[in-house]
Amino acid sequence: MRQGIRTELDWCLIGAELARGDSNDQVTFFRAFVAECLTWGTHLQVERQLAFINVELTKNEKEVLSMITYEEAK
């Protein structure tokens, strides 16, 4: 997928646009992100990449993102 992108991306602008989008846009983004990650070969590769991201996030950023994978007790 990345090979099709021919210019440098402004990740801060993309993040801001995503944050201001509606939930449909945000869900579409995260689904595409996960789908792309799953093409890498193994679940371990995906977990390692997400762990690298986690290390770089602040405590506050992790707290804000914590609801993405929240599941209600059944």
Q: How far is CA 12 from the centre of its chain?
A: 13
Is residue 60, in this structure, part of any structural domain at all? yes
Is residue 14, in this structure, part of any structural domain at all? yes
pLDDT (tens digit, 9 = 90+) per residue, 13-62? 999 999 999 999 999 999 999 999 999 989 999 999 999 999 999 999 99
pLDDT of residue 35: 96
Q: Which residue bears the tokens 């059944």?
A: 74
Is residue 59, in this structure, part of any structural domain at all? yes
Distance CA 67, CA 69 (A): 5
Is residue 74, in this structure, part of any structural domain at all? no
Q: Which residue bears the tokens 């690298």?
A: 52
Is residue 21, in this structure, part of any structural domain at all? yes
Helix or strand or coil: residue 62?
helix
- Whether the Cβ atoms of residue 42 and residue 4 lie closer than 8 Å to each other: no
Residue 28 belongs to domain spanning? 2-69
Q: What is the token pair recorded at 23?
A: 């939930």
Q: How confident is the model at residue 7 (pLDDT cuts 50, 70, 90)?
A: confident
Whole-structure pTM value: 0.79
Q: How many domains does the chain have?
A: 1
pLDDT above 70: residue 2: no
